[in-house]
């Protein structure tokens, strides 16, 4: 009987440890992708319209990052954009927690945007 009890205790302890590890891995602090990308734009902005394909091409290399799009024509989005420090459109922010850590303004080239992402995001470019 003692052997069965010991075996059961080891199994229960192992299962508890496995559950704790899985919970920490899935629900713990986001480490590799804790930054998010925030794009501030307006559909009526000509520069935003020409910049959008550039942004989408560069974002393809960062599929695990959250991308938030703020349209300044929406009052709530405008307030959020101003809170981050937006002064022009288009603007791309790197946000950690709720704080903007870096921003890039204007209709920049894809090379400039990719360099901005590579410099400021934890996850390096995927093979490009």
Does 17 score more than 50 pLDDT?
A: yes
Q: In this structure, are 55 and 113 located in the same domain?
A: yes
E strands, 1-128, in order: 35-41, 66-71, 91-96, 99-105
Q: In this structure, are 74 and 40 located in the same domain?
A: yes
- In a domain, residue 127? The reply is no
Non-local CB neighbours of 43 within 8 Å, separated by 6+ positions: 49, 71, 73
Q: In this structure, are 59 and 21 located in the same domain?
A: no
Non-local CB neighbours of 55 within 8 Å, separated by 6+ positions: 39, 90, 92, 113
pLDDT for res 35: 86
Alpha-helix runs per DSSP H in 41-74: 46-59
Lowest mean pLDDT among 17-26, 33-42, 62-71, 117-126: 17-26
User: The pTM is what?
Assistant: 0.71
- In a domain, residue 74? The reply is yes
Percent of the chain with pLDDT over 70: 69
- Which two tokens mark 64? 């695990």
Q: In this structure, are 9 and 68 located in the same domain?
A: no
Q: How far is CA 14 from CA 5, 9, 121, in A?
A: 14, 8, 36
Q: 78: domain range?
A: 35-120
Does 126 score more than 50 pLDDT?
A: no
CA of residue 91 relative to chain centroid, distance: 16
- In a domain, residue 100? The reply is yes
């Amino acid at each position: 009987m003692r052997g069965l009890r010991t075996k059961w205790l080891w199994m229960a302890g192992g299962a508890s440890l496995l559950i704790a590890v899985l919970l920490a891995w899935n629900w713990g602090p986001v480490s590799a992708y804790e930054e998010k990308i925030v794009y501030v734009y307006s559909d009526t902005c000509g520069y935003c319209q020409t910049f959008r394909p550039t942004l989408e091409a560069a974002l393809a290399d960062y599929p695990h990052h959250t991308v938030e799009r703020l349209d300044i024509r929406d009052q709530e989005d405008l307030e959020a954009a101003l809170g981050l420090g937006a002064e022009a459109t288009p603007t791309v922010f790197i946000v950690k927690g709720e704080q903007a850590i870096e921003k890039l303004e204007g209709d920049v080239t894809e090379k400039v945007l990719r360099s901005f992402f590579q410099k400021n995001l934890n996850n390096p470019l995927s093979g490009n």
